[in-house]
Structure 1
Amino acid sequence: PDDEGLSFVARAMQCPNLSIDGIFTHFATADEADKSRTNVQYEKFSNFTDRVEKELSLKIPLRHCSNSASILELPDMHMDAVRAGIILYGMWPSDEVKRDGIVLEPLLSLKSRIAYIKELDAGQEISYGGTFCTANPMRVATIPVGYADGYPRGLSNKGDVLIAGKRARILGRVCMDQFMVDVTKIPEAKVGDIATLIGTDGIETITMEEIGDRSGRFNYETACCLGKRIPRVYEKGGKIVCTRDYFHEEKLFF
Structure 2
Amino acid sequence: MIEILNPLELARAKVTGALVADILQSVKNRSTVGTNLLEIDGWVQTMIAEAGAQSCYVDYAPAFGRGPFGHYICTSVNDAVLHGLPHDYQLADGDLLTLDLAVLKGGIAADSAISFLVGDSRPAGSLELIDATERALAAGIAVAGPGAYTGDISYAIGSVLSEAGYQINTEFGGHGIGSTMHQDPHISNSGRPGRGFKLRPGLLLALEPWIMADTATLVTDPDGWTLRSATGCRTAHREHTIAITDDGAEILTLPTSV
TM-score category (smaller protein): under 0.3
Give TM-score, length-normalised by structure 2: 0.26
Give TM-score, length-normalised by structure 1: 0.26
Larger Rg: 1
Greater relative contact order structure (CA < 8 Å, 6+ sep): 2
